[in-house]
Amino acid sequence: MTQSTISFSPIGIIHSEHTVAKETPIQPTYAKGCRGTVEIFPEFTKGLQDLAGFSHLYLVTHLNQAPEPQLIVKPFLQDIPRGVFSTRAPCRPNAIGLSIVELVGIEGSTLLLDSVDILDGTPLLDVKPYCAKFDLIENTRNGWQDEVDEATAQKLGLREYEANK
C-alpha cells in the first residue's frame, strides 16, 4: 500500500499558560479555568463568521512537542500499557491533537477560550463547532477508561498543574 504524504499548513496558533508538557492538564475536562487564546491568521478570519453562537469547539492541532510515536503506551490515567489508538496520548503515529474547548468570546481574529489543555505555541490545523446533534453520544462503552474512577481521573488528569500553581 503506497503511503503518500499529506501536507497541511497551520491556520493559527494557540497561546496558553502551559509551557511545560508534564504540567499541562491532559484534557480540557481537567483544565477548567485555564484560559487561552487562538490567534487565527488574518487570511482565515472571514471563516470565523457565525462561530460565536457555539459554546464549545473542537480544536484540531499539530502536537509539535509530542514524544516519538509509540504503538504501546502507558496512558496518563492508568499505569497499564495500552495500544496507542485506545488512548489520547500525544505520541501517536500522526501527532494530531483533538481538544474540546469552551469558547468565551471572539475579538477580531482571536478566539478567547476556557478549559485549554494545549501547550503554548501549538499550531492549529482546524476549528470545528461541537454540535450536540453530531457529537453528544450517550450510552457509550469506554474500554479501560471505565476502570478509572472519576476522582482518580481528576487527580491524574491535572498532572503537575495544580502542584505548580
Q: Of residues 70-109, which lie at the interface with its own copies (CB under 8 A)?
A: 71-72, 82-88, 92-94, 96, 98, 100
**Does 163 contact its own copies by CB under 8 A?**
no
Cell numbers given for 11: 491556520
Site for its own copies in 36-75 (CB under 8 A): 41, 44, 46-56, 58, 60, 62, 64, 71-72
The kind and range of the H/E element at 72 are strand 72-73
Smallest distance from the beta carbon of 119 to its own copies, in angstroms?
15
Mask: binding to its own copies, 127-146, rule CB under 8 A, as x and -?
A: xxxxxxxxxxxx-xxxxxxx
Given candidates 66, 104, 125, 156, which one binds its own copies under the rule CB under 8 A? 125
Site for its own copies in 3-22 (CB under 8 A): 3-11, 13
Which residue, 7 or 164, has its beta carbon nearer to its own copies?
7
Q: CB of 83 within 8 A of CB of 72?
A: yes
**Does 123 contact its own copies by CB under 8 A?**
yes
Smallest distance from the beta carbon of 134 to its own copies, in angstroms?
5
Smallest distance from the beta carbon of 165 to its own copies, in angstroms?
22
Closest CA to 100 of 27, 2, 9: 27
Q: CB of 62 within 8 A of CB of 123?
A: yes
Residue 74's CB is within 10 A of a number of other CB atoms, namely 13
Residues in the chain: 165
Closest CA to 34 of 130, 102, 111, 128: 102
